Amino acid sequence: MDEERIGSFLLESKTSWEEESACFVVDSRKLVENINALKTFLKGEVVYSYKTNPDLRVAEIVSSQGCGFLFSSVEELENISKLACFEKNKNIFQSPSLTKKQFLTIREIGITRFVVDSQDQLNLMLENMDGNEVIELLIRINTGIKVNNPELSYGEDSFLGFPLSEAIEVLKKLNPLREEGKIRLGIHNHLISQNTYLDMWGKNTQTMADFVDDLKKESITIDVVDFGGGYPVEYFHIIPELSDIGRIIYKAQTRMTSAFPNLKYVFEPGRKLVGESVTLIGKIAHIKKFHDTQVAVLSCSLYNCSIDTLIVGLFLPVIKLDYKKDNNKLKKEIYVIRGSTPDSLDIFSRGVDLPQLKSGDYLAFLHAGAYSFGSDFISLSKPKHLIV
């Protein structure tokens, strides 16, 4: 964790955020650095999973680096399609609940690539294809691999995609349409977010490569393999290097390319692309002592910026924002950090060791850029993103 670098970056840029806290501060240089790392280590097209952080200025930076977007709702797509940077052909749409009306709207905006999650959805797309443009259908496959993630509660059954035995039948039926040039065909997979297990990366991608071999044996041809997201960010535990994950995936790609030499590859990072470049800054409204516990009460709430703390137990690393090397020598206390609402669950951190705090101090929650969504609880509004 690069606490020291982030601490000095935030102090140097204090004038841009101090009037705004609570706020999210985006380190645009770090964002671009991470996009480039993903482009280096993942061998194929990088499409940003937009639901990870829908801030429009973040989106513009992502787009300026040549990435398209993975959209999951028409509303998301409509927001981005108004931007000057919008390029129709770089995007993918996925939603397991897609309706005919939505499909037609999305087609009208010019999107041609779709993840297919069920037979019903596939029928809907085939019945409503206009025939003017070749659309790309990425059949979402579920490898059946389960990940037991003790750190964060991802990896339960998602019920998304087709089991492999069904997927092969679906692809067999679509193969003639592909041969007629009416569609392009691919497979899509996303195992879990924050996949910190190299063995699981290996097992999942090799199962995908076995599946591609099975397609070849059945004389079914595909044009694209989409490996989804899951590239992890460091919170409290050490995570594997992106380069190691990239190498594991590339091993599977090599097998796939030997089956289909013209195969194209797509990756859909969200968390790793944006997570580490964003810091959530909260100002301490009050300090109170509750029996023996020191409690810092913040100006923001889990309910307007960090609901994943409640959903998957994602607690973000936190530092006091006058972070200096000498902080280590300052007297420290153990704190509970409460959010701003009178809700018993609104707790950002428990038992954190921080230099003595007082009201008016700033706390910085690190690597806060991914899934930092909120709710309308007690009419709170979401803290702004400030690009620095």
Ligand X SMILES: Cc1ncc(COP(=O)(O)O)c(C=O)c1O
By the rule CB under 6 A, 269 interacts with ligand X: yes
Q: In the window 3-42, what residues touch ligand X (CB under 6 A)?
A: none
Report the run of H or E that residue 225 belongs to, with start and end. Answer: strand 224-226
Radius of gyration over every alpha carbon of the chain, rounded to an integer in angstroms: 23
Are the CB atoms for 261 and 18 separated by under 8 Å? no
Q: In the window 299-358, what residues touch ligand X (CB under 6 A)?
A: none
Report the Cα 25 to chain-centroid distance in Å: 18
Neighbouring-strand partners of residue 318: 365
Nearer to ligand X, 266 or 357 (CB): 266
By the rule CB under 6 A, 193 interacts with ligand X: yes
- Identity of residue 241: E
By the rule CB under 6 A, 49 interacts with ligand X: yes
Are the CB atoms for 386 and 17 separated by under 8 Å? yes
- What region, left, alpha or beta, does residue 3 occupy, with left being phi > 0 and alpha being psi -120 to 50 degrees? alpha
**Site string (236-255) toward ligand X, x via CB under 6 A:** --------------------
Q: In the window 121-140, what residues touch ligand X (CB under 6 A)?
A: none
Are the CB atoms for 365 and 347 separated by under 8 Å? no
φ, ψ (nearest 5 deg) of residue 51: -65, -15
Contact with ligand X (CB under 6 A) among 55, 117, 136, 268? 268
By the rule CB under 6 A, 270 interacts with ligand X: yes
Q: Which residue of this chain has its Cβ atom nearest to ligand X in the complex?
A: 229
Q: Strand 332-338 relative to strand 347-355: parallel, antiparallel, unpaired?
A: antiparallel
Contact with ligand X (CB under 6 A) among 30, 178, 271, 320? 271
Rounded distance between C-alpha atoms, residue 249 and residue 138, angstroms: 18
Least CB distance to ligand X at residue 19 (A): 31
Q: What is the DSSP letter of 139?
A: E
Nearer to ligand X, 228 or 282 (CB): 228
**Site string (200-239) toward ligand X, x via CB under 6 A:** ----------------------------xxxx--------
Least CB distance to ligand X at residue 233 (A): 9
Nearer to ligand X, 270 or 339 (CB): 270
Please choose, from the candidates 71, 94, 192, 76, the residue with its C-alpha nearest in 3D space to the C-alpha of residue 140. 94
By the rule CB under 6 A, 103 interacts with ligand X: no
Chain positions contacting ligand X, by CB under 6 A: 49, 52, 70, 94, 190, 193-194, 228-231, 268-272, 370
